[in-house]
Structures are given as structure tokens and as C-alpha cells.
Structure 1
């Protein structure tokens, strides 16, 4: 096979399933919205806030349908901006991106301003922090931390998101468990009927809480990482939105019950220093709805439950702010690639491969919003009023309304783009199709426009000014400096050739990284593949941080394709079929495991440097190999190339203690021995004073392993030595290759092959191959269960 005949496929490591996608949506929606806006909504319209939340969910659902279709059609980062830009070949799409890149930071600023408010009210007293410390300082410090994390790159995984979301839901369930025990439907009915006719307030409240449902966008933004996006994304969006709608309705009920409870109001009057009397407490709740849930949790759950809810709420706000920073940075990346932002915002850090300029701009905008809305024109937590410049008062209400205005502007254009997409390419194969087009998107446009009209006047004016600034920035600077070659750049990785079905009985996966030692690794792979009548799948993993979208891995793919092609060339003329693959993902161990599963590989052969520390382009025991050995539902071979005098292999050592791993070691030894025409020595070490019975048993063990080596020149020996490891290390000096099977699993998690094989692998000067046979059915089930447990 020549270079022209070889092709290297490119794939994205789609590792987020339905549960992970639902966790993304629920985790983003259950944040400051549920802890802060639920109380604000109740203070506006009482129990009728349930209607506001449901209306906001329905309106969001209409646009979520469009996102679901576009995400299956264009599984790339950039969200609504990228969808509109893919449909309209016009610079007008710039204003859509501008709206979204201002709306995302406003959302994050709302989360962090809410964090600062709760931290000052509830944590300052608990930690005895002086009131002289500015209340907004905690939010700014958290923002600095999140920007730093996103500049460096995070290690957050789908399982981590599932666990964190599960903890959030557990906290809400705890709150509901305490509050619903006092359920009195007469109180709820009275509150509901007293507010349901306040149509203007219902409209304003619906717009206020709309931001809570924008979590559906987080699912679509990760489309390139979601398995079967055309099927998974729509299901995840509507399951998460339906679940959150129910949760919000129940939370509203509990808050309504609390603020209409005389005992609760009396306790609140005691807790809040400047409030005296039940009526004053009722007025306090009406003007400080953002903390109603916190006080309600203390009333129903006591002090311990109260602080559990407080800490959980603060962590939820941080998590949502972090997710929003990440999503906002990705939109800026997409805009820079099309020339709608300066090219610097598309640059990646040379050290961390993260979009540093986009992250810094996002962080700067969030800081600006916090300072303007919460500091300069805001009211400190617990204060009735404050002196502000020009007498303008903003605060949490205003920043939430501003974020809604900017995001709604973008959502309107997404629905317009869906109608145009159907007209422009009616026969395009779409993984998911919105029903009743154009009527559903038209309804979504009208509903979004209605919500825009309900934005509070101050936020509406600020939003319009922001849009005018964006237009001026475009015509005053960007349009004149835009590079012609930066327009409409589409991702290329997922569109390249794909791995074809395996034509042999088995498939052996060979991950390669550095060019050194690849020849020896491929020689072993070819021998094993020939013996097993297997095809080789040579793979290189491109790993990028969570902050960098998959399509930006193009800068690394060509280099890795070269490495894969060089490795594949060693199979030319051997009669062993070989395919190449470069796969892009966030974690090398996950990439290997998913490739094993999705391409039906029966075995994997990995190289090992012999070191214990992780390197970006080196797979080592103690990191990637450990995870693959533990989790792979396949035979695992790990080879460390030692000091070989020449290319010839003159003898092979197979230490054995019996069992399935020893049989696999024997089979691997036979494969290499047949090619090299090398003799094999199968050995077992006993104590010098071992009994005759023990020696007979040991002889039976070595003969059993030798039987697995279908090769004429096989020697069996029982060695004597007081230290098994030292005796085997002495013996390795007499052979070119040592092949050893895993021993019983150690209780120490970091030892996966067993202490003896890994010690031999590290210390032996010859080439060492450690093997672990495919686990049985019971073991495979246990491994799958462990993969779903926290901390594994």
C-alpha cells in the first residue's frame, strides 16, 4: 500500500450521551434562576409566578426546536450565531453575534451578582467578615478565578457534570421535602387568584425568568460532542426543560407557602435587623424577593439545612457562570473566524490551546456589567435605597432583563434562519426536523417579540444603546479592516473520510503518539494481528481543553495524520490490512475507550515510556494506560521498548503464574516468536526451600502456559529465588523481550497490572510487554457500574 492508497480518517470523540446532555441543560437552568428569580417572581405575582415560568418555558421551547434542528445539521460551536451565519451569506449576521456575545456575559454577571448578594447576606455573618468589605468583592474574586480556569483549560467531564447536576437536584428535593409538608392549597389558591389578572406584571415576570430556560442552548452548543445529535439533542432539550418547569413550579409553591405563613414572617422579622413586625416582614419579602428561597429553606429545614441550601446555591451560581463564560468565548471564536470580530479573538494560547483573547473579553464584559449594574447603579444587599449617579437604580432585575433582551434578539433571528434554511435547501438531510414550518418558527418569533416588549424600560434602553454601539463598531472599524480570507470558514474535521467496516475476524487498535519507538510498536502489532487474523486500526488522539471547540483542532490534525501515516507505512507488504484514524477529544483515555467500543476493536496495543508523569503527547502508566486497562472491554497490551542491541529478537521470556492473562501472554509470545523464529522460555519462580509438591504445581503452571505458545522452540523452567521480582529481573537480562500477564488486581488503584508486572516493566532493560485479557461478563458489568460512580 502506497501513501496515495492510504487514507487517514478524522473523527470527533462524541462522548456525551442522553444523560450527560440532560445534565448540561438541567445544570445550567438550575442556578441563580431557581434560587433568586423564583423569589423575585413570587414577590411580583405570587403563586401566578407558576404561569410566568410555564409561559417562559413554552416560548423558549419554540426556539429550542429550531436549535435542535440546527444542532443536528451543523454540529459545531457558536450556537445561534453559527446557525444564522451558515444560512445567510450576509454581514447582517454580525448583529446576531453581537447580541449574543453581550447577552452571555450579562447572564454570567447576573449569576455572579446573585452570588455576591447571597454571600454578603448569609456567609459574611457566618464567617464574621466585616461589613466594611464591599459586598461585590466576592463576585469579582470568583470571576477572576473562573477566567483563570478558562485561560488554563479545565478538566471537567460529562460524568462530573452529571454528578454536580445530581447534587443540585438533591438540594432542591431537600428544600421541597421540607416545604411541601406545610402544603395548604387554600393559601396557594388565594395568592393565585389575587394575581392572575395582573397581566402587565405577568408579562414582565415572564420576561424576567426567561433567562432561566436559556440552558437549552448549552445542549446545542455542545452538539459536536454529543452522540447521535439528531436524536439525542431534541430529547435532552425537552426532557430537561420539562423537568425544570416542574421543579420551578414546586419551588414557587413552597415560597408562596412561606411568605404567607405568619410564623415565618415573625421569625423573619427577628432575623432581619431593620424589620419589625409581621407587616414589615411581608413588605421586606416583597422588596427583597431574591432571598426569599434562602429564608424559606431556613424556616423549613433549620440552620443545617439552611446552610446546605446556601452553599449549594452558591456553587450552582458559580457552575452556571463558568458554563456561560465557556459558551460566550466559543461564540467569539466563531465570529472571529468569519471576520465579525478582530482576528485576535480567534487565536489560541500556545501554552494551553485555549482562546485566551475571547476568554479575557468575556471576563472583561462580565466585570463591566457587575460594576455598572450592581456597584455604580445598584443597591447594596439589604438596603432599601442608595445614592446612585443621575438617580438611576438598576440591580439584579435590570441585569436579568438586559440579558433577556440581548439573547431574545438573537433567538428571533435563529427562527428566521430556520424558515430560510427550509426554503434554501428543502431536501437537505436533517437529523431532526421542526414540525409545521414555517408556522412554528413564526409563532416563536412573535412570542419572542412579545417578551421583548415586556423588558423593563431601563434595560430596554440600555439594550438598544448596546445594539447601536455594535452597529457603529461594525461600520466604524470592523467592516473596513475585515480580512477577505476570514469569511465563512466551516469546520472540516467531521467531514473527512470515515473508518470502514472491519473485513477480518478481529480488529487491533494501536494508539500512537511520538514517532520514536513506533517501528517496534508496529512490528509487535503486525505480528499479533497476523496471528489473530486481525485488521490494524492505527490511531492518534488530538486532545484539546474544554474551552476550545473541536473544529479548532485543525491546527493539530495534520501533524497527527503524518504520525499515523508513518506508522501505517510499516504494514506495507505484510499482508495485514490497516486503517488510520485521527480522533479529536478532550481526554486521551476517553478517546481510546470510545474508539474501542465504537469501532468494535477486540484488542488494544499501547506504548509506554516507562515514566510516571503525564505528557501531552505521550501515553504513560499512571494516567491514560491505567484508565484503559481498568475500563477496556478488550484485550490490553502495553509495550515498553527497552535497550535492544539490534533489530533481531533472539529469545523471549514469559514469566507466568497461570490464569487467563498468562494464556494471552503465551499467545502474544507465539505471534512474535513465529515471525522472529525465536525460542521462548516460560518460567515460574519459587522460594529456594519450596516443597516438591509446590515444584510439581509450578511445573504444571509453566507447561499450561507453554501449551498456549504454538511454537516448536519452547523451554519451561521453574526458577529458585528468595525474591521473585529480583530473580525475574536477573532472568530478563538473558532475553530480548519479556512478555508478562497481569496478576491479581492490587488494592492500590494506581497499580493496574499488579506490582510484579509493573516493576518488571519499569526496571527490566529489555523490551517488556504487559498484557491483560478481556474481562468476563461479570467483570465487564462491574466495570461499567464503576464508570458511573463518582470519583472513579
Structure 2
């Protein structure tokens, strides 16, 4: 038994796919921006400002640099092996099956938790939009149980419904998905630019002093939560998660060797500029300590401070659209990861089933869509969002290390794009990832270790025996075949 058996580049590329190739550079860039710009601007800037002060813009830049170096590594892998699966497939190529499975298992949790977490924020903005029109949902149906202190809530109905609607769009075809995403991202960008143009005139430079009240990293008396630029970067790193999902669209992309690297890097660059400009303006309009008064809706609080009440309705709409695209891309990426793992035999065949008409992994899309909707509807998972960060950072480390290994072991493999300044680029990526991981609290490490342990149980209990690589020269590996093999009745 070889736990580290690998796929070759030829094996990955030659695997036939029934998925439909329709994505171009513009679509991939919109997909990346759709995943990146959302919760970061409309929700996390509040907590980030309280953690770093006006230096939040530096925290965003630090997180962006980490993602930028990792993005260069993703771009090289995507051009070398343009297949579904993102970091899972790249780990299979560089380090073998066990590492690939763990990363795939990690990404499934990442995408599901982020989509469920964002659905809670989406629900909050949706309820505020309804209130603007004099409409009110029963308070018990506005959030999961225990989400709002002092208020009795049981079920996040708006979040549950939006996740199911997104799942339906994803299940009926990639053309419908990309058109929906492209339109929503363009509207979102227009609203963000409108916010910048309207609020920049209210900036008071005195609010930027002191610029970095907590320095690089510090603990406040009586607090277990670290403060400063690095801890804030660890928090807002959540904002950039999603560009890696772009690489999972490889088998639905036209000319992926060239378009995937462009889509990944363009979406990161555009999003970083917008984040930095937004945080400069927000902390310039409102003193950073006042974000405690509207930590869950920081953009709305900034608008309230300017007196531009008419802008609030428009920005609420932008927040809804922004978070919708984030959920769409995360659920899309999750279904493609599961599709790739199922095709390799590491997950049940159910998740690899492709609908004849829609040419999407239909069953797997609905399975995880329903689970995510239920999680966001009933469970207070806001305390778990940092698990998304540590999971993504772990995937970035594996992909960056994979570039170092592949350059050494397969220097002549075809690469449509080469990350510059190797080995420095992947090494810097790894260092930045470890710095951001260090900014997370110890509870996150414990939860991640538990999920990691569950993944090992699934691999050794199910996936190892059903791996297609384990049975490369054997009959097709179905559940019936594995049962027969265990009984010693195969021929």
C-alpha cells in the first residue's frame, strides 16, 4: 500500500470530462472578484478596525501579499494541470494521495463554513432592507439559535432560502452560473465605486491618528484576543478566500493554460485596490473605536455618520449582492472539489454524477447545498469562521510547497505560466501563511485538529480501498467491486 502514490501531469490532463467549457478570462475574473469582495468589506471591516485601528488598510495589504504570492503558485499549477479540484489536484500531483485527500477534506470544510457564515451576514442585511420598506419577518426566523444576545431566535430563514436558490442556479448549468455571477459582480462594483465617490469628501485626516494604536501584535489587559496589524490581517484574510475556487473551474474554462492565471491574478489585484481604498475612507470618516457601535454593519455605520441616508439603501443592496456572489463561488468550488475526489474514487460515485442535460455535478451540488443551508439556518457558526482561515492557509502552504517540489522533480513539465522568482515566491508565500496562522486563537487550532482527525478516519476507513490509483489495472472500482474484493470473490 502506497499512501503517497501520485498522479502524473499526463494522467490529470488526459482524464476525460463531461463538463462544458464556456468560461473566459472575463468570467474567471468576475468569479474571483465575486468570491473575494463581499463579507470582507461589508462585515469584517468593523472587527478589523477595532483590532488594528486605521492601520487596517495595512492588514488588508498584508493579507493580500500573502494571497498574491500564493496566487502566483496557484497560477503555475493551473497552467500545468488545468483540471478540476484546485489544491486537491495539485497536491495529488506533487505529494501523493494521502496529502491530496487531506487538502480536499480541508477545502470541503472551508467552502461549506464560509458559505454558511456568509448566509448569516446576508440575512442581517436582508432584514435591514425589508425594514426600510416597513416589512418585518418574525424575529424568531431572522437568525440561528443563540446568534443574537438578548434576542430569542431559532432559524435563519432568509439565509436558508438564499443558499437553496444559489444551489439551484449552480445545478442547472455553468452558463447560467457565470451569467448570474457576472451581472451581480458588475452591479456590486458600481455600488462600491459610488460609495467611495460619495463618502471620500467626509474624511477627516485626524481620525487616522494614531495610525497604528496597537502596533504589529499585542495583547490588551484582560483580553485573550490579540490586537494589532497581524491579528487583524488574520481576521480579514477571510475576505480574500475564494480566488482559489477560480482554479477549480479549469475543466469548464476555454484555453485554461492562459485564462486561469489571468483570472486568478486580475481578481486579486482589483479586489486588493478596492479593499485598501475602502478601509482608508471608512477609518477616515469614523474614528476606529466607534466601529464598536455598528460592528456587524460597518459600511452602514459610515454612511450614517455622513448623513447620506439615501445611499444606505443602495449599499444594503450592494452588500446583499456582494455576499450572494461569495456564496455562489464557494458552493461552486465545493461541488467541483467533491466531483474531482469522487472521480478518483476517494468519495462515493454519487458526488461524481454529471447530469446529462445540465452537464453539472448535479447530485453533489444539491447534497452540499442543502447541508450548507441547514447549517446556516440552524447553527450559530460565526464562532467557527476562523476555521475557514486556517484551512485555506494550510492549502496555500501545500500548493506553494508543491511548486518548489515540482520545479525540482519535474523541471521540464509544460507550464503555460511560471511563477516568477522561484524559489523565493513560494517560500515567501509559506512564511506569510505561517505568520497569519500564528495570529489565530488556540481554539481554532483544536477544531482544525479534530476535523483533520476525522479526515484520516474517512480516508483509511473508506477512500484508501476505493482509490482508482489503487486499482489502476483492475476492473472499474465500484462499491460492489470493493465489497467483493474484501470477500475474496473477485477474479
TM-score bucket (shorter structure): 0.7 to 0.9
Match of 2:76 among 63, 69, 94: 69
Are 1:192 and 2:211 an aligned pair? yes
The partner residue of 1:177 within 154, 175, 197 is 197
Q: Secondary structure at the match of 1:129?
A: coil
- List gaps (5 residues or longer) in structure 2: 1-16, 144-155, 219-225, 474-491
State whether structure 2 residue 113 is matched by structure 1 residue 128: no
Instruction: Tell me, in whole angstroms, the C-alpha distance in 1 between the residues paired with 2:334 and 2:20.
Output: 22
Larger Rg computed on CA atoms: 1
1:191 and 1:400 mapped to 2: Cα distance? 29
1:187-213 CA-to-partner distances (Å, cap 9, x unmatched) read: 22x141323344542222211111222
From 18, 32, 35, the equivalent of 1:28 is 35
Provide the rounded CA distance (Å) in 2 between the counterparts of 1:132 and 1:220. 39
Q: Of 249, 263, 271, which residue of structure 2 is paired with 1:236?
A: 263
Q: 1:62 to 1:484 in 2, by over 3 A?
A: closer
Cα RMSD (Å) of the superposition?
Answer: 2.9
Q: Output the CA distance in 2 between the equivalents of 1:425 and 1:353.
A: 34
TM-aligned CA deviation for residue 29 of structure 1: 1.3
- Looking at structure 2, the residues matched to 208 and 56 of structure 1 have their Cα atoms a distance apart, in angstroms, of 9
Give per-residue Cα distances to partners, 1:153-206, cap 9 Å, x unaligned. 364265654443221111011111121101222222x14132334454222221
Equivalent runs, 1:125-274 vs 2, <5 Å: 126=133, 127-135=135-143, 136-153=156-173, 155-156=175-176, 161-188=181-208, 190-199=209-218, 200-201=226-227, 202-260=229-287
| Other-structure match for 1:316 | 322
In 1, Cα distance between equivalents of 2:337 and 2:464: 19
TM-score normalised according to structure 1 size? 0.51
Q: CA deviation at 1:232?
A: 3.8
For the residue of structure 2 that corresponds to 1:326, the secondary structure is helix
Following superposition, the deviation at residue 124 of structure 1 comes to: 4.2
Matches within 5 A, 1:399-414: 399-414=384-399
Q: Is the 8 A contact 2:159 2:377 kept in 1?
A: no
Q: Which runs of 5+ in 1 are unaligned?
A: 1-9, 262-281, 375-394, 489-792
Distance of 1:404 and 1:237 partners within structure 2: 19
Determine whether 1:425 maps to 2:414. Answer: no
The answer to whether residue 374 in structure 2 is matched with residue 354 in structure 1 is no
Where in structure 2 are the equivalents of 1:472-491 lying within 5 Å?
A: 472-482=457-467
Deviation at 1:287, TM superposition (A): 6.2
Q: Distance in 2 between matches of 1:243 and 1:483?
A: 40
**Distance across 1 between alignment mates of 2:98 and 2:214:** 45
Q: Matched residues in 1 for 2:177 and 2:332: separation?
A: 14
Once residues 412 and 105 of structure 2 are traced to their aligned partners in structure 1, the CA distance between those partners, rounded to angstroms, is 31
Q: 111-120 or 229-238, which moves further after superposition?
A: 229-238
Determine helix, strand or coil for the equivalent of 2:211.
helix
Deviation of the 1:429 alpha carbon: 2.1
**The residue matched to 1:414 in structure 2 has which SS?**
helix
Secondary structure in structure 1 of the residue aligned to 2:241: helix
Match for 1:442 among 424, 427, 431? 427
- Distance in structure 2 (CA, Å) of the matches to 1:351 and 1:230: 27
Displacement after TM superposition at 1:372 (Å)? 6.9
For residue 118 of structure 1, give the secondary structure of its aligned residue in structure 2: helix
Aligned 8 A contact 1:218 1:327 in 2: yes
Residue 350 of structure 1: how far off its partner (Å)? 5.2
CA contact (8 A) 1:204 1:456 kept: no
Number of equivalenced pairs: 438
Contact 1:39 1:252 (C-alpha < 8 Å) held by counterparts = no
2-side partners of 1:487 and 1:214: how far apart? 35
| Separation (CA, whole Å) in 1 of partners of 2:252 and 2:170 | 18
Q: Is the 8 A contact 2:18 2:354 kept in 1?
A: no
1: CA distance between counterparts of 2:105 and 2:339? 12
Deviations 1:537-561 (CA, angstroms, capped at 9, x unpaired)? xxxxxxxxxxxxxxxxxxxxxxxxx
